[in-house]
Structure 1
Amino acid sequence: MQYKPASWLAAIPLAAMMGVCVGQAGPSQVGPDPTLPKPQRGLLPDMVIAKPAPWGDKTPTVPDGYTITAIATDLKIPRQTLILPNGDILVAEGKGGNAPNLKPKDVIAGIIKARGTSSVKGGDRLTLLRDTDGDGNYEVLTFAENLNAPYGLALVDNNLYVANQDAVVRFDYQPGQSKASGPPETVTPLPSDINHHWTKAMTASADGQYLYVGIGSNSNITERGMTAEVDRARVWRINARTGEHKSYATGLRNPTALTIQPGTDQLWAVVNERDEIGPNLVPDYLTSVQEGAFYGWPYSYWGKNVDERVRPQDPAKVATAIKPDYSLGSHVAALGVDFSNEAMGAQFADGAFVGEHGSWNRKDPVGYKVVFVPFRDGKPFGAPVDFVAGFRDKDGTTRGRPVGVTVDPKGALIVADDLSNTIWRVTPTQAAKSQQPVAAAQ
């Protein structure tokens, strides 16, 4: 059956489509123990349309002691980035997914979400940015083309790994190389039927032996049936040499970015949780990923809070669900994560940067910024701090939406913006080095 939006969209009040219903922002939901209100149900979630606009002479805002510069523009849906050993920046560009709409409300949501995205077609390529003489001006070079919605990136020795929406592939890489020497070879296929959540986040283990790949669910809460969720909503651990793989952790609805905590082999992820039970449910989160752990999806959220919509229920599975480490707030749509270092300045040296793409399904928008989550003793500590903001104005005018965030070891934060198709570079000035650490100030 094909839906014909024109005939039934007219029957739905405009207020419902525009989000002029329930859904005021609730109490603070950030941190290890967020407040979880009672679930709300309705025909449609609140929806507020972002109004894209060019940056013009504006830029995102950053804290005192930092500067921000656009180092590449007019890209084709930049998603994630990777800093290469010589300082080159590799950018994955693409847009995937082919999931059919199941219900009329899915069509409505699709229309509204599309209005807040770039009209540019995804590049299906890797772009290399190179600052040859260190003057801050970057050449824009095409490293590889004809990929399939590339997203995750990892470099191990002379092997460059790319997570397409359907497979992990490998290129030979030599230091300073500006263009792939040939087509990639496939390391292992990835689940790609339907691809409701198509992004395939990736990072390498500290020793380079394994690749971790995040694979999102094929639905909000199993409305396509459990068969569609085989090998979904989990993180795979893949042998980088042979392609052999296993499920490393499960119950993560959509793990959109992965990284390894410096000085350890501990995997961390940001995860997008489920929708349609209210503006303040369910919190997206930042968490360490424990081998063999179950994080709740679809049966429960934030530990053992049962989602009554899921049928059949599985109490035994819920009993094993563990809580994530840190709530980022409901519907912020975290799509990037990376740990900081001392070169970023004392204030932001110990913690993780998180790129929040921004909400579409709540009356009071959240996200649309890069936050810094301070750490103490290896764990998140205290409230997040806005680090790159100004992507969305109070009137809904939206100039950018952050996705991937990558810390340059030499002291810079690289931010991919897939609405304006820009790569931003944030650097500390001398003044930033004398600031008090964020965690110490809380």
Structure 2
Amino acid sequence: MKPFLMAALAASVSFAGAALAQDTTAGDTKAKVDNLEKLGSFKQTGVAEPAPIPQTGRRADAINRTLQKIKVPDGFKIELYAVVPDARAMAVGPNAGVVFVGTRKSKMYTVTDRDKDRVADEVKVYAPGIDFKIPNGVCFSRDGVLTVVEQNRVLAFPAAEFFYEGTDGPAVVVVKQGELIPPAEESYNHTARICRIGPDGKLYVSLGQPYNVPPKDKADLYAKTGIGGIIRMDADGKNREVYATGIRNSVGMDFAPDKTLWFTDNQVDGMGDDQPPGELNQITKPGQNFGFPWYGGGGVRTVEYKDDKIPADVVAPKAELPPHAADLGMIVYKGKSFPEKYRGGIFTAEHGSWNRTTPIGARVMFVPVNKDGTAGKPEPFAEGWLTEGGEYLGRPVDVATLPDGSLLVSDDTAGAIYRISYEK
């Protein structure tokens, strides 16, 4: 067995223990709970493998027709990589390049390009024996452990790229159901978590708060638990701490080579078509405050907190993004196949506005990052999913890079993942 597998499996045994036996989510069936316990004990579940997702047919044809309307810079091309229902956050495996895809529903998927022709050969449900609840957040450690952050639970899957071929594989409860946030704070709003494994080996998780603007009597609870912020913890769930605050709802973050953490933040609704702006922020040290709810976005004060004193240490955004465009997933581009202009810069996925008089968004944006660490002006990189008549043909959610440096874009409306590549 490969060394990374041995290390991952040993880690899973060391912190599985009682956490598995005690995970009895109210909505889970007994069979699903038993399956999670079985996986943590290296036992088979007997769950049948669901049929793969068809990659040809009317849906694929329709998506390909849409892609003919998408504009990308000269030298780039965009193609359908995979048909994936409800595709949202993506994590690319560090060993084989298998793409693990989260959703805002109850399933996850794996996407495999076996012949390496840069088009997926197989898309199938991942870990079908587990009852997921909004498994949006997915991220990999360098040694191949996949972390999945649900609405109110965190699971880890050691050696996920090795075991995904079957229905069973090691599964570990990192944060038990109901302990990521207080159960009373569960909501239907801002439920999609995201995660990253930092250069320090810790797990970073964003916790969007459920309100447009939270009531003041929630301030102490949210400050203590990290709701409306980003928390971090050891890979086994220990030593949890609040890493950053003043964040409304971040659904995209990534570490830069200098080990700072960049993130997008969706800002307050109902303040007009053209304000407040979305934000692209950079965390340079623990404990920083990014201004929400005193600010609705950028320097725009919220009505609810307009008379309240602003904390002295609020950090301003590195770049302001188009108002209400809903920038979600983002990456710092570390690939080498794109031109020099894009290296070290940031790609963001705009999901598109929902309450703007004239819709905006549904595109992939690029934000250059200068050598001094300042961010340049955001510019469209791939666009055309929003028609002139205001119809969404697709809605980008997340971005990720394949090992060859090409860019993947997920779309939960079309149910697809696209691949953007560059040819010299």
TM class by smaller structure: 0.7 to 0.9
- CA drift at 1:217: 1.1
Match of 1:226 in 2: 218
- CA drift at 1:254: 0.5
- The total of aligned residue pairs comes to 346
- CA drift at 1:238: 1.2
After superposition, the Cα gap between the structure-2 partners of 1:224 and 1:424, relative to the gap in structure 1 and judged at 3 Å, is farther
CA contact (8 A) 2:136 2:192 kept: yes
Cα separation, 2, equivalents of 1:90 and 1:136: 12
Match of 2:180 in 1: 190
Match of 1:35 in 2: none
- CA drift at 1:76: 2.6
Residues 48-67 of structure 1 mapped to structure 2, 5 A cutoff: 55=63, 57-59=65-67, 60-67=70-77
Residues 101-140 of structure 1 mapped to structure 2, 5 A cutoff: 122=105, 124-138=106-120, 139-140=122-123
CA contact (8 A) 1:81 1:416 kept: yes
CA contact (8 A) 1:94 1:148 kept: no
Match of 1:30 in 2: none
Residues 5-24 of structure 1 mapped to structure 2, 5 A cutoff: none
Report SS of the residue matched to 1:58. helix
Give the unaligned 5+ runs of structure 1. 1-52, 96-121, 431-442
TM-score between both structures, scaled by the size of structure 1: 0.73
- CA drift at 1:380: 4.3
Cα separation, 2, equivalents of 1:294 and 1:61: 37
Match of 2:418 in 1: 424
Amino acid at match of 1:238: M
Higher mean alpha-carbon deviation, 81-90 vs 63-72, is at 81-90
> 1:339 pairs with 329, 332, 338, which one?
332
Amino acid at match of 1:268: W
1:151 lines up with 2:136 in the alignment: yes
- CA drift at 1:144: 1.8
Q: Considering Cα pairs closer than 8 Å and 6+ residues apart, tell me whether 1 or 2 has the greater RCO.
A: 1
Report SS of the residue matched to 1:323. coil
Superposition RMSD on alpha carbons, in Å? 2.3
Cα separation, 2, equivalents of 1:378 and 1:126: 39
Cα separation, 2, equivalents of 1:89 and 1:80: 14
- CA drift at 1:345: 2.5
Residues 321-332 of structure 1 mapped to structure 2, 5 A cutoff: 321-332=314-325
> 1:178 pairs with 164, 168, 189, which one?
164
1:169 lines up with 2:151 in the alignment: no
Give the unaligned 5+ runs of structure 2. 1-60
Report SS of the residue matched to 2:251. strand
Amino acid at match of 1:384: P
Match of 2:24 in 1: none
1:356 lines up with 2:338 in the alignment: no
CA contact (8 A) 1:306 1:318 kept: no
Residues 276-291 of structure 1 mapped to structure 2, 5 A cutoff: 276-290=270-284, 291=286
Amino acid at match of 2:116: G
- CA drift at 1:337: 0.3
After superposition, the Cα gap between the structure-2 partners of 1:175 and 1:89, relative to the gap in structure 1 and judged at 3 Å, is closer
Report SS of the residue matched to 1:252. coil
Cα separation, 1, equivalents of 2:402 and 2:374: 21
Amino acid at match of 1:149: I
Cα separation, 1, equivalents of 2:316 and 2:272: 20
Cα separation, 2, equivalents of 1:352 and 1:380: 12
The structure with the largest helix share of the pair is 2
Higher mean alpha-carbon deviation, 292-301 vs 172-181, is at 172-181
